[in-house]
């Protein structure tokens, strides 16, 4: 009897599949996607000429190992044409960030950098740290490499220029000078210790300093000190002398201060063993404002020009590029990248690979830092892999976990309850993937730790199941560590079974005798508790994970508690934002006084119209 069972069709892959698309393409610029047999995006690329670019992939030979592997896995392609090459580059980077294809270079750490802000619109403007979108009106100086670099600079500016750092609401509520005035870190504008014009002079001096004109600031201070001495204003002369001494100290403690480079980002790449480190130094106002290292995913073997092109396109996606970017290697499509960055900045941006002089020295310093940073990271990665292997052996896992999620809760007798999740893997702590969960159910109010953990895990895994039900991404954990013992593990087991994700191993980490470090006990479903040797590196590793989760959850709880402490009923009034709230509190002194005020009294506040006064009055008097 003939066998009519049909053979399963094996999907076609490789250069022949790519060749079939050539008939439908023309020379337009655009973006292409290469997909495997499971419709997973392998690679996203741009092209000045789509037909020419795709025809390169259609050749059976002459490719690097990385490109050959990618072509071999390609089962289909998708195309989008654009009007210009710049549009193609923008679309390519958006798709790369969204899809995270395996063969593309991907910048994984893409957070914003802090700036220093001097707002406008206040007679005595404050000086403060700012991160994120530049939505507030004022002068911005940056970026700085880290919050620490900003804080150090702010501390120096306080010593020299004595600008206030307090909030507007605190400023308006002062009746006596604060400690910063006493230690000569603030000029005391809140209590009239300095005139508006003199304070404006301090702001102007600070602005000039941040623009790199510290020499002229120092000369002006010296002249003012001499004049004060001539007029026998010895107290003022002494104050100016102290400011000059502070300014001199600041100048001497600055880092690498290039004389011939006023504004630039120094971007150096070191590539070794398929891993890359990009070191970025921020030069502003002839001063080094810190550096930051990045470890982009190299797309399974990309070379330096491709890595740097992708890095620049993604790094400056939400950051304003400087006028000059110094590079350790030339990039692919330099004209296209230059045009893209110039469009984003609204002015000309220059890319340069200097070979001699001060700029080359800056790059050599950045490249040395990149090389050393990558060496340290590779050494740490080797140690981390050994710890993950040891963790797998200690907890009877099938393989070393690639992603560990650690959960903890924090509250005070149920108040301001917050759940925290941290993530760790072969590269250490993945802080960009930490999450906070504000406890919304009754478990928080009742101080029910089991109920809180159930809520956190339910929200976490319901979202994962919705966004990635087939588990194709690397966002699914291989191991859960829970702060707690048998009771917590039982609660976790119930919720994981209910959600249908009971194949993910989880372990409870409980403090042992006397709640001491080193005496932790570990709990697994259906197994007796056990402990690790006191000097076992795996035990120290688990302790670090647990302590980091504890630190993260406590920080979230304290932030929530602090926010609640400063909240007032005015926060709930429709139409009353931060500015009106400050004006009302400054006029009446408290939210309670606002709630008792008549409409006519409310109208006496600057910025409060008759309609708004009526709305505020009705909010407090017609609620029940």
Domain range summary for the chain, segments of one domain joined by +: 15-103, 115-253, 263-375, 403-564, 569-621
Q: How far apart are CA 229 and CA 622, in angstroms?
A: 65
Tell me the CATH number for domain 403-564. Answer: 3.30.420.340
Q: Hey, is 77 helix, strand or coil?
A: strand
Burial label for 502, CB within 10 Å (0-12, 13-18, 19+), is middle
**What is the percent of the chain where pLDDT is above 90?**
25
* CATH class of the region 569-621: mainly alpha
Residue 610 CA, distance from chain mean position: 43
Secondary-structure percent of the chain, ordered helix, strand, coil, rounded to 5:
45, 20, 35
Q: pLDDT-based confidence at 488, cuts 50/70/90?
A: confident
pLDDT for the residue 415 = 67
Closest CA to 605 of 574, 582, 622: 582
The residue that leads in pLDDT, 256 or 159, is: 159
pLDDT for the residue 404 = 95
Q: pLDDT-based confidence at 215, cuts 50/70/90?
A: low
Start-end of H helices in 231-319: 234-253, 304-315
CB-CB contact of 153 with 214 (8 Å): no
Pairing of strands 275-284, 263-272: antiparallel
pLDDT for the residue 377 = 82
Q: What is the mean pLDDT of residues 471-477?
A: 86
Reply yes or no on whether the pLDDT at 268 is more than 80: yes
Reply yes or no on whether the pLDDT at 5 is more than 60: no
Q: pLDDT-based confidence at 252, cuts 50/70/90?
A: very low
Residue-wise pLDDT for 12-36, tens only, equals 788 889 999 988 888 899 999 999 9
Q: What is the mean pLDDT of residues 479-502?
A: 88
Residue-wise pLDDT for 306-332, tens only, equals 999 999 999 998 788 999 999 999 998
Q: Which residues of 114-139 are buried (b: 16+ CB within 10 A; e: fewer)?
A: bbbbbbeeeebbbbbbbeeeeeeebb
Q: What is the mean pLDDT of residues 293-298?
A: 87
pLDDT for the residue 471 = 85
pLDDT for the residue 624 = 43
Same fold yes or no, 263-375 and 403-564:
yes
Residue-wise pLDDT for 45-61, tens only, equals 999 999 999 999 998 88
Reading the block at residue 349, the tokens are: 């941006």
Q: What is the mean pLDDT of residues 154-175?
A: 84
Closest CA to 328 of 302, 354, 297, 307: 354
Beta bridge partners of 32: 45, 79
Domain formed by 15-103, architecture: 3-Layer(aba) Sandwich (3.40)
Q: pLDDT-based confidence at 9, cuts 50/70/90?
A: low
Counting Cα atoms < 13 Å in the Cβ hemisphere of 75 gives: 10
Q: pLDDT-based confidence at 439, cuts 50/70/90?
A: confident
Average pLDDT in the chain = 84
pLDDT for the residue 255 = 43
Q: How far apart are CA 106 and CA 295, in angstroms?
A: 9
Tell me the CATH number for domain 263-375. Answer: 3.30.420.340
Model pTM score:
0.66
pLDDT for the residue 615 = 87
């Amino acid at each position: 009897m003939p066998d009519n069972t049909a053979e399963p069709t094996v999907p076609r892959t490789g250069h022949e599949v790519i060749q079939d698309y050539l008939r439908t393409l023309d020379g337009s610029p655009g973006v292409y996607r290469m997909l495997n047999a499971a419709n997973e995006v392998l690679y996203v690329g741009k092209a000045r000429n789509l037909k020419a670019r795709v025809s390169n992939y259609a050749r059976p030979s002459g490719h690097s190992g990385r490109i050959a592997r990618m072509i071999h896995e390609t089962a289909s392609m998708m195309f989008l044409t654009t009007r210009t090459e710049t549009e193609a580059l923008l679309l390519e980077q958006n798709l790369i960030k969204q899809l995270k294809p395996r063969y593309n270079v991907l910048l994984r750490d893409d957070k914003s950098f802090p700036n220093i802000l001097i707002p406008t619109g206040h007679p005595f403007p404050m000086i403060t740290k700012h991160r994120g979108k530049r939505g507030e009106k004022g002068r911005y100086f940056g970026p700085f490499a880290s919050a620490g670099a900003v804080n150090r600079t702010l501390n120096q500016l306080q010593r020299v220029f004595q600008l206030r750092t307090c909030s507007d609401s605190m400023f308006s509520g002062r009746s006596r000078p604060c400690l910063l005035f006493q230690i000569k870190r603030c000029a005391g504008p809140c209590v009239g210790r300095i005139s508006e014009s003199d304070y404006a002079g301090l702001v102007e001096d600070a602005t000039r300093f941040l623009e790199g004109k510290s020499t002229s600031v120092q000369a002006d201070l010296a002249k003012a000190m001499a004049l004060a001495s001539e007029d026998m204003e010895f107290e003022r002369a002494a104050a100016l002398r102290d400011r000059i001494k502070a300014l001199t100290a600041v100048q001497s403690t600055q880092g690498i201060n290039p004389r011939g480079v006023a504004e630039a980002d120094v971007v150096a790449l070191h590539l070794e063993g398929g891993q890359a480190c990009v070191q970025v130094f921020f030069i502003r106002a002839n001063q080094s404002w810190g550096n930051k290292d990045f470890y982009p995913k190299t797309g399974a073997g990309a070379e330096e020009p491709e890595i740097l092109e992708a890095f620049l396109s993604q790094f400056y996606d939400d950051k304003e590029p400087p006028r000059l970017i110094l590079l350790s290697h030339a990039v692919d499509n330099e004209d296209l990248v230059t045009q893209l960055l110039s469009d984003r900045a609204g002015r000309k941006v220059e890319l340069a690979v200097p070979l001699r002089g001060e700029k080359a020295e800056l790059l050599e310093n950045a490249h040395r830092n990149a090389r050393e940073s990558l060496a340290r990271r590779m050494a740490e990665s080797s140690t981390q892999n050994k710890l993950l292997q040891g963790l797998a052996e200690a907890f009877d896992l099938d393989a070393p976990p690639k992603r560990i999620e650690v959960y903890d809760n924090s509250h005070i007798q149920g108040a301001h309850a917050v759940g925290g999740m941290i993530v760790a893997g072969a590269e250490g702590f993945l802080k960009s993937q930490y999450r906070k969960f504000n406890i919304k159910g009754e478990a928080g109010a009742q101080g029910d730790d089991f109920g809180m953990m159930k809520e956190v895990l339910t929200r976490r895994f319901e979202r994962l199941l919705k966004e990635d039900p087939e588990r194709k991404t690397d966002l699914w954990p291989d191991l859960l560590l829970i702060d707690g013992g048998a009771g917590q593990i039982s609660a976790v087991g119930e919720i994981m079974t209910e959600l249908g994700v009971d194949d993910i191993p989880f372990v409870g980490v409980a403090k042992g005798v006397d709640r001491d470090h080193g005496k932790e006990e570990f709990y697994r479903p259906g197994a007796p508790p056990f402990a690790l040797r006191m000097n076992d590196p795996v035990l120290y590793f688990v302790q670090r994970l647990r302590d980091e989760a504890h630190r993260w959850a406590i920080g979230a709880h304290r932030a929530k508690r602090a926010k609640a402490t400063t909240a007032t009923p005015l926060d709930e009034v429709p139409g009353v934002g931060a500015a009106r709230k400050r004006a009302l509190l400054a006029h009446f002194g408290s939210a309670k006084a606002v709630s008792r005020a008549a409409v006519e009294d409310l109208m006496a506040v600057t910025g409060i119209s008759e309609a708004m006064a009526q709305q505020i009055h009705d909010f407090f008097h017609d609620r029940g």
